[in-house]
Structure formats: C-alpha cells, structure tokens
Chain A
Amino acid sequence: MQSEIKSNFEKSLSEGNFSSSQKDIKEKNFNKFIEQGFPNKRIEDWKFSDLNQIISTNFENLDFSKKDDQSSIDVDFIHEFEHNKIVFINGSVSKVDLSYENENKIILNQDYELDEDLSKNVLINLNTAFLNNCIKITVNKGYKFQKPLILYNYLTSDLDSHGLNMRLDINLEDDTSLDVINISNESSKSNFLNFRQKINIGKNSVLKNYSLDINPTSNIKYLYKDINLDQNSHLEYFILSKGSKFAKHDINCSLNNNHGSIALNGIIDLDNKKHHEIKTVINHNEENCKSYQLIKSVLSENSKGIYQGKIYVNSKAQKTDGYQLSRALLLNDDVEFNAKPELEIYADDVKCSHGSTSGNIDENSIFYLMSRGLSHDQSKKLLTNGFLNEAVEKITNMDVKSLIKKLTGIQE
C-alpha cells in the first residue's frame, strides 16, 4: 500500500496550488506518516483499537488521490426543522445556505494555514500531508446564530476505496453563539475518513456541537477535534456513535481561561461487529472551570466499545469541577467494552470523580415489562432506549433534542 500512497502524495503535491513553504510542511508530515505508518496497539492511545490492523484487514488498497468530480446527487435535507446548511460532497463544499443569518457577520474561508509544528499524532500528519481543501467558519464578535447550522457530509460511490482527509475549523469570536449538527450520509464503500477539526470558542461564547453517526456504513473513521475555550465560554458536545463499521472520536478540549465549562455527552450504540471508541482529554488549565462527561453504551452482536477519558488539572486550576461517568449495557456474551478513566491532578482545591459500570440487562425488569404483554424484544428495546435516553436528555437545545429523538428513535 505504501508505494501507492507515495505516488498519490507526489501527484497531489504537483497538482495542488501550494507555496513552497506549504509544500515543505506537507512533505515533513508525509515523511513522518510513512516512517511510522498507521497507529497500532503498542501506542497507548490506540491500545484498544489497532488501526493499523483494522486498515490492513479492511483495505487491500487505499487510494488517497484527489477526487474532484462532483456527482450531482440529491441531498436529503432534514425537513420541518429550520436550519442553515453547508453541504460537503466527497470532501468539497458543494452548497452553502446561511439564509437565516446576517451573512456579514459570518466569514467562510477556504484558505488555510498549515501548522508549522509537526504533530505527534500521525493521523494529523497524514491529514496535513494530503489536505487540499479546508473550510474555516468564523463568527464575528457579538453575533449569535438564529438557527442551527447543519453540516451535511455526503460521500458518493465515486469515492469507493478512497482515503479522504478533511478539515473544518470553527472560530467563535467573543460574545458569540452557534449550534452545529454534523450529519453524514454515505453511499460510498470502504473509505478511510480522516476528519480533523480545530475549534476556538472566544470569551463569553457558546458552542453546541452535535456529531451524529447514524446510518450504517462499511467506512472506517477517525475524527480528531481540538477545542480551545476562553474565559466564561461554554461547550456542549454530543456524540452519537452508531453507524460506521469503525469510528474513533478523539476529542481534546482545553479550558484556557477561568469560568469555562464543558458538557460532553455521548452514546455508543453498536451491533454487527462494529468497533467504536470515544477518547476524550479535558485540560483544566485555569481556575473555576467545570467539565461533565456522560457516556452511555449499548453493545450487541460481537461489537466492541471503548471509552478512554482523561481529566487533567493544571496546578493553577484551583476550584476545578471535573466529572466523568461511563455506563455500558452488554446485550450478548460476545461483546467487549473497555473503559479507561484517568485523572491527573496537580492542584489541591479540586472536585473530580470518575466512574464506570458495565453489566447485563436486568432480567427482572424484562420480566416486569413482559408481564404487561410486551414481547422480549419490545421490552429489551424499551429498556435500552431508556438507558441511552439519559444522554439525549442532556441536550439543552430543545429543537435539536427532538430532532435527534426523531432521527434515532431514542426516546422515553
């Protein structure tokens, strides 16, 4: 596979319109990727998900060459839900509709800056090496979005057996707010999707981000998010990890100024041998910040779920509140759930806790529901839905909450 990737890279470098310094950065990143390859289980962050093995089992070849032809496809927009939209087809922007907003307050920028520093994360190196388009959304100081923004990510069969590197940055200036929903719709097969996102949340600003992986696909995904929060800002992050064959959400948040807060809630809902991981790192770098995490997982049919959650508290970060809880329901004997909670605390006036439980569905509860005429399957579905619903109930945008309930069927 390596020689193909090399020729893909050389081609992308010669065809792209890059400055010599950009080329230089890309080459450095590419060389590091070639040297190290896809991460394997000997790397601590990947100990439960050996990506190198997953890639080699699933792909004979992975074509990283650029696909520009945009097939004209019908985008299945969400109905009866007022929203702004940006549509990506095979990684490129195909439609932007911000008609609910004052467009003078929003800047969409397709130029991008490559990081000078060589990342330690080899998938970021890969992303930087191959990236040829990027979109950056900037919300100007003081502007609050009227309606949510849905990012539709469409992949067509043109992209079969391709590797795709995408990057989408969001910059909320001070005193702003934005609700974003990520929805993917993939009719392509056997893709490796390497999605990177850099997010800045300015002072007194609020970002609510709902990342939904619902539809079943044979694709392999890595989603890396790097989120920085300034003073008195708030992040609400919700993950629904369900549709892909393999997905890893790698969420890194830094509370860089006082009185910032994060609520990160997620669902891992797997069947049919799927393998999903949510990995989070919350850095409490300054005083009086709060973070809350709740991950609920339901696993069946030989699937594997992982939650690795780390809370880091800097010695300056007094009066920190940091909580994380993972609860998993294992429906069959052949499933696997791994949880690795970590607390690394250097300040003394902090409140931090973590908890993790996993267990079978309660047969007494099943009996109770069946004694009221429900079938075993109906009872199980009602109980697992109720179990997952706890995470959905944390969503504070009521319109989005009912949309997600409608899309997933998860409800009380």
Chain B
Amino acid sequence: MLSIENLKAKIDDKEILKGLNLNIKPGEVHAIMGPNGSGKSTLSNILSGKKGYEINGNVTFEGENLLDLETEERAHKGIFLAFQYPLEIPGVNTNTFLKTSINAIKKARGEKELDAIEFLKLIKQKSIELKFDEKILSRQLNVGFSGGEKKKNEILQMSILNPKLSILDETDSGLDIDALRIVSEGVNSLRSKQNSFLIITHYQRLLDYIKPDFVHVLKNGQIIKSGDHELAKELEKVGYEDFN
C-alpha cells in the first residue's frame, strides 16, 4: 500500500530524514518510536503533503507517486493525518467543517455527497461510538477544546472519513488514561483487512491498547531497527539514548 524508499528531507538546509525505508501492506499497523527531533513529525507531514520541505527519494501509495499529489488529493485517495497539535480555526463551525470535508472527499471519489440529514445521522452514530459529546460539534473548530477533546475530534474525523492509511502523530500525548482508552478503541474499531495505520509515538503505553504488527525505531533521520511489539518494551527499558 505505502512504500517509502530512501526518503531524504531537508528544511532550511537542515537534513532531517536521511534515507528512510518503510513498507506498509493493507491491514497492517506500524508503530514508529523515536526521541525528540528524530524526524517523526517530518515524516508524517511529508506523507500528508505539507509544503516547505526539500524532498528526495520515492514514495508510492497504491502504486501511485505520492509526492506528486497535492495535500487534498492525498486525502481524496485515503490518507489521513491525525495532527499532533490540531489547529484552532476561529469562526469555523465544527459541523460545517466536517460536512465540507466528507463531501469534498466523496465528490473527488465520484460518490454521492451526503445531504444534511444523512450527515447528521452519521455524526450521531460516530459520536456515540467514540463517546464524544455532540454539543462540541456545534462549537468553533477546536477553539477552546481541551487537549483530550482536540485529539478525540481528530479520531472522530478519521472515523467519519474512513481512510485507507491513517497516520497518528503523537495522538497519545496530552491524553489522560480514560481518553487514551477511548481514542484507542476508536482506532481499533477502524482496523480491518484494508485499513492500515502508522502510529507515531514516544511511549510504549499507547501500544498496549493498539497492538502494532511492527515497531520501528527512528533515530537521527533513519529507521535503525524494526521488530515486533517486544521491541517497544525493550526501548522503554533501555531508553533512546543507549539504544543502538
């Protein structure tokens, strides 16, 4: 599904990714762990099309050159990034945004757009599943949301858009235990033979809730080791500093 070969990325002449390789097949859950500044967020930004990086290497998504696509085209193809810091968008109603978003994607895929009633039904169902207070959706997008509400809102968006590849950029940071469990259940409910996940995190804890098929250690712009869930536990013991 996703294939990354020798990916290098620079920003302001500073090399952040230094030849990264990664393959994700449909239905797989991959976790990337690494210290601060190792390039985790850069990887997720590049995959979802953020501008401002000088990029080398090959990235294909379902056989198509991903780096040629605009941000919104990647979303239409089924790539979703749950932001580490979801942005506050003053004056934009969350419901309006969600409806615009799902219909933009449906339109691009040649599917029938949702009318107001169908949309409300979908929102209601997803909110119940994720134990998300529907009232929050009539507020301005992420404005005045608590950290937990922002992250849950990301998972709600993910759940509505039902992407093929979901990238979770430190979704666990700033969550209390209850919120972490709800967010994880949301992710688990989306797991299927088709849907893949790339989970970026500092901590092993999230991986107790979302069991990954593969764990990779990202250090200094490269994946230095890959393994299964046990690798995460080992990392937790040793720490990034001494891990080689």
Chain A residues packing against B (C-beta within 8 Å):
362-365, 367-376, 378, 382-383, 385-390, 411-412
What are the residues of chain A within 8 A of B75 when measuring CB–CB? 370-373
Interface centre among A367, A378, A387 (most CB of B within 10 A): A367
What are 5 A-B pairs with beta-carbon distances under 8 A? A367-B71, A368-B83, A370-B49, A376-B70, A412-B140
Bound Cα distance A374, B73 (Å):
9
Q: Range of interface residues on chain B?
A: 20 to 34
Assess whether A378 is in contact with B92, with CB atoms less than 8 Å apart. Answer: no
Assess whether B70 is in contact with A369, with CB atoms less than 8 Å apart. Answer: no
Q: A374 → chain B, closest Cβ, in Å?
A: 5
Shortest Cβ-Cβ A-B pairs, 5 listed: A386-B91, A412-B93, A373-B75, A370-B71, A386-B92
A373's partner among B50, B51, B90, B105 (CB-CB below 8 A) is B105
Instruction: Answer whether residue B89 sits at the interface, using C-beta atoms and an 8 A cutoff.
Output: yes
Q: B85 → chain A, closest Cβ, in Å?
A: 9
What are the residues of chain A within 8 A of B140 when measuring CB–CB? 386, 412
Instruction: Answer whether residue B101 sits at the interface, using C-beta atoms and an 8 A cutoff.
Output: yes
Known: A371-B83, A374-B100. 16 other contacts (CB 8 A): A362-B87, A367-B49, A368-B89, A369-B101, A370-B75, A372-B75, A372-B104, A372-B105, A373-B108, A376-B70, A383-B92, A386-B91, A386-B140, A390-B90, A412-B92, A412-B93
Assess whether B90 is in contact with A371, with CB atoms less than 8 Å apart. Answer: no
Instruction: Answer whether residue B97 sits at the interface, using C-beta atoms and an 8 A cutoff.
Output: yes
Please report the number of residue pairs spanning A and B whose Cβ atoms sit closer than 8 angstroms: 84
Assess whether A378 is in contact with B83, with CB atoms less than 8 Å apart. Answer: no
Assess whether B49 is in contact with A371, with CB atoms less than 8 Å apart. Answer: yes
B91's partner among A367, A370, A374, A389 (CB-CB below 8 A) is A389
What are the residues of chain B within 8 A of A386 when measuring CB–CB? 89-92, 140
What are the residues of chain A within 8 A of B71 when measuring CB–CB? 367, 370-371
Instruction: Answer whether residue B33 sits at the interface, using C-beta atoms and an 8 A cutoff.
Output: no
Q: A71 → chain B, closest Cβ, in Å?
A: 41
B89's partner among A370, A375, A383, A390 (CB-CB below 8 A) is A383
- Whether A374 contacts B101 in the complex (CB less than 8 A), given A367-B71, A412-B140, comes out as yes
Can you name the residue of chain A whose Cβ is closest to the Cβ of B108? A373
What are the residues of chain A within 8 A of B51 when measuring CB–CB? 363, 367
Assess whether A387 is in contact with B90, with CB atoms less than 8 Å apart. Answer: yes
Assess whether B49 is in contact with A387, with CB atoms less than 8 Å apart. Answer: no
Assess whether A382 is in contact with B100, with CB atoms less than 8 Å apart. Answer: yes
Instruction: Answer whether residue B184 sits at the interface, using C-beta atoms and an 8 A cutoff.
Output: no
Assess whether A364 is in contact with B72, with CB atoms less than 8 Å apart. Answer: no
Bound Cα distance A390, B100 (Å):
20
Assess whether A412 is in contact with B96, with CB atoms less than 8 Å apart. Answer: yes
